[in-house]
Chains A and B, each alone.
Chain A
Amino acid sequence: MLLRLFYAFILLANCVVNHVAADEIKADFSGFATLAASYSDDPDMGFGSNYINKNRAGFSLSRESILGGQVNLSLNRNWDSVAQVVLQDHANEEFDGFLELAFLRYRPSRDWAIRAGRLNSDLYLLSEYPYVGYAYLWARPPHEFYSFASAGGHFDGLDVEYTQSVFDGFLRLKLAAGQTTTKLTSAGDKFYIDFDNLITFSASYSLEAWTLRFSASRTDIGGYKLDSMAQLIAAFRAVPTSLWPQAQSLAQSYDTEGKTLSYAAFGVTYDYDNWLIQSEVGISESQWLVSPSNLNAYVSVGYRFGDVTVYSGVSISENRNDVTNIPVPQFPPGIPEQITLPIQQLAVIAQDAVELPVVHQHSINIGAKWHFSDTVVIKAQIDHFDIQPYGGGLWSRSKPEDVKIGHRVNVFSLSTSLVF
């Protein structure tokens, strides 16, 4: 249904474009970039600026560097279009993943806007511009809050926005629907996950120094493509229930069929005079074993001295569920080892696979942003991450035993961001 609506909209838009006089069309090109040098001081823990980018240990120039280009096309007074490509250190380098925006917008009146195409998710305060370093305070959006959100940073579908002035403030309400395929890698293999029937509602209200924001989102987890996971599920299903009763329920837990993922978030910004204070709280609930259910939050406080703003903040991402325990099955004597040993090895692999994606970490950061010119800012930031045992799901670990132990990692970042 949604797809048909989408195609109908595109068809209608095509008719409109064909009837727009050439002199009404106006194109504007713009862009943004960040050149960042960063260093992560634990050689066993690879750090990435977000969930869809490569994790790297040590010094890197590519980890947080970004180049974005955008074209705004004004077609006539009611129709316009925006396309945006963002080049960054993606683990999966297919072009489709770099296309952040490609939508057509229709404004039937001054209060309403309807968009169709590739859209940015409007889940959190920074969700619409997480890669525009010039526009926010930090070296990167708070890792605990925004890293996993990048997996659903854009989607293909429709959204409808209503805006209205209310009590001297400004209210925005948005309802979005669509689907997306997140492109990741897992142990070097390409990993695709479909998120279908994605529905997001968001509301924000701005009044002078204050901005309040609420959003809620729900999606069906659709198909996936990852050979190692398909093999794991097939192996579970092949085990007779009489030998290992837990195997069938584990196969079901790993499979995406019938699983949903839900988010809700609340955020507030206070931006007055020299103070910039921002905080968000978010909660996710996943029925899929591979995707963590978390409580995420951060608070950041900045104070400006002329052209330099100094800031500090704390962030948390708490795993909301106990890590699933998969005991190695024991068998009565008499069953051949050729049967029992593979099943016991399967249980060990399954336990590792359960522990790997769990996210449970805290961090504190301190930094400074210098407005070098109208279009250029320079930032320096130090983050100290406290990663709990079985909680490093946002990091890559070079040794299997690193999953089970806690880590403390410092990340140093020096960057310049500009708009053009």
Chain B
Amino acid sequence: MKILILLFSLLFISFSEARSPQLVVVVNKNNAIEALSKREVIDIFMGRYLTFPDGETAQPVDLPAATALKSDFYLQLVNRDEQKINAYWARLLFSGRAKPPEAATSIEDALNKIQNSQYSIAYLPEDQLTDDVKVVYRLNEN
């Protein structure tokens, strides 16, 4: 019986991890930023500030709409699901305050955008990282 419970627990943990991989926030290797706090990531992805803390223009990149990764990112970052995020960005865009992040078509596309632009910033599953990008924040860290 104990073995059964253990197996079930392992299966559940594996399943949970498969659904919610560790997400990391990445920038171009040549970006001077080495690390960001959670608040600084929120500032950039929620359109509060249009620059990195050092004053350089930030170009946030979103993963495709209606994907588990995008949903997980915003739930972990600001505890809001995609419905709320979409309404939030409609408010910011049409009040003239800020434009929403550029939408990537896939993880590969997001990686390409980071590699091609010194000031792009995106979020990815940790297991999809390449040597061309630099991790500046891990979700669920302060």
A residues with a Cβ closer than 8 A to B are 28, 30, 32, 68, 70, 72, 77, 82, 84, 101, 103, 107, 109-110, 120, 128-129, 132, 134-136, 163, 165, 168, 170, 208, 271-272, 307, 371, 374-375, 419
Within B5-46, which residues are at the interface with A (CB < 8 Å)? 39, 43
Within B80-104, which residues are at the interface with A (CB < 8 Å)? 82-84, 86-87, 90-91, 93-97, 99
| Nearest CB in chain B: distance from A117 CB, A | 10
A70 pairs with B93, CB closer than 8 A: yes
| Nearest CB in chain B: distance from A271 CB, A | 7
| Nearest CB in chain B: distance from A110 CB, A | 5
| Nearest CB in chain A: distance from B68 CB, A | 15
A170 with B87, Cβ < 8 A, contacts A30-B93, A32-B94, A128-B96 known: no
Interface residues on B, range: 20 to 34
| Nearest CB in chain B: distance from A137 CB, A | 9
A28 with B99, Cβ < 8 A, contacts A165-B39, A371-B83, A374-B65 known: yes
A68 pairs with B43, CB closer than 8 A: no
> Is B3 among interface residues, defined by CB-CB distance under 8 A?
no
| Nearest CB in chain B: distance from A170 CB, A | 5
By a CB distance below 8 angstroms, the chain A residues around B107 are none
Complex-state Cα separation, A70 to B65, whole angstroms = 22
- In the complex, the number of residue pairs spanning A and B with C-beta atoms less than 8 Å apart equals 68
> Is B50 among interface residues, defined by CB-CB distance under 8 A?
yes
By a CB distance below 8 angstroms, the chain B residues around A109 are 55
> Is B118 among interface residues, defined by CB-CB distance under 8 A?
no
Q: What does DSSP make chain B's interface, helix, strand, loop or mixed?
A: mixed
Give the residue of B50, B51, B90, B95 whose beta carbon is less than 8 angstroms from that of A120. Answer: B95
| Nearest CB in chain A: distance from B75 CB, A | 11
Known: A128-B96, A208-B79. 16 other contacts (CB 8 A): A70-B96, A72-B93, A84-B96, A109-B55, A110-B51, A128-B94, A129-B91, A134-B87, A135-B94, A136-B91, A165-B39, A168-B39, A374-B66, A374-B82, A374-B86, A419-B90
Q: Which 4 A-B pairs have the closest CB atoms?
A: A128-B95, A135-B90, A82-B96, A110-B51
A84 with B94, Cβ < 8 A, contacts A77-B57, A371-B83, A374-B65 known: yes
| Nearest CB in chain A: distance from B99 CB, A | 6
B90 pairs with A134, CB closer than 8 A: yes
Give the residue of A30, A77, A163 whose beta carbon is less than 8 angstroms from that of B48. Answer: A163
B50 pairs with A132, CB closer than 8 A: no
B49 pairs with A129, CB closer than 8 A: no
| Nearest CB in chain A: distance from B40 CB, A | 9
Complex-state Cα separation, A163 to B43, whole angstroms = 11
Give the residue of B48, B49, B84, B94 whose beta carbon is less than 8 angstroms from that of A132. Answer: B94
- Name 17 interchain pairs, CB-CB below 8 A, sorted by A: A30-B94, A32-B94, A70-B93, A70-B96, A72-B99, A110-B51, A120-B95, A128-B95, A128-B96, A132-B91, A135-B87, A163-B48, A170-B48, A208-B79, A271-B84, A272-B79, A374-B65
By a CB distance below 8 angstroms, the chain A residues around B65 are 374
Most buried by A among B48, B50, B86, B93: B93
| Nearest CB in chain A: distance from B64 CB, A | 10
B55 pairs with A103, CB closer than 8 A: no
| Nearest CB in chain A: distance from B121 CB, A | 15
In the complex, what residue of chain B is closest to A30 when comparing beta carbons? B93
By a CB distance below 8 angstroms, the chain A residues around B57 are 77
A165 with B87, Cβ < 8 A, contacts A77-B57, A109-B55, A128-B97 known: no
By a CB distance below 8 angstroms, the chain A residues around B55 are 109-110
| Nearest CB in chain A: distance from B119 CB, A | 10
B90 pairs with A132, CB closer than 8 A: yes
Complex-state Cα separation, A103 to B95, whole angstroms = 12
In the complex, what residue of chain A is closest to B55 when comparing beta carbons? A110
Complex-state Cα separation, A173 to B94, whole angstroms = 19
Complex-state Cα separation, A114 to B84, whole angstroms = 28
Complex-state Cα separation, A132 to B90, whole angstroms = 8
Contact with A along B91-129 (1 / 0, CB 8 A): 101111101000000000000000000000000000000
| Nearest CB in chain B: distance from A250 CB, A | 42
In the complex, what residue of chain A is closest to B86 when comparing beta carbons? A374
In the complex, what residue of chain A is closest to B43 when comparing beta carbons? A165
A135 pairs with B84, CB closer than 8 A: no
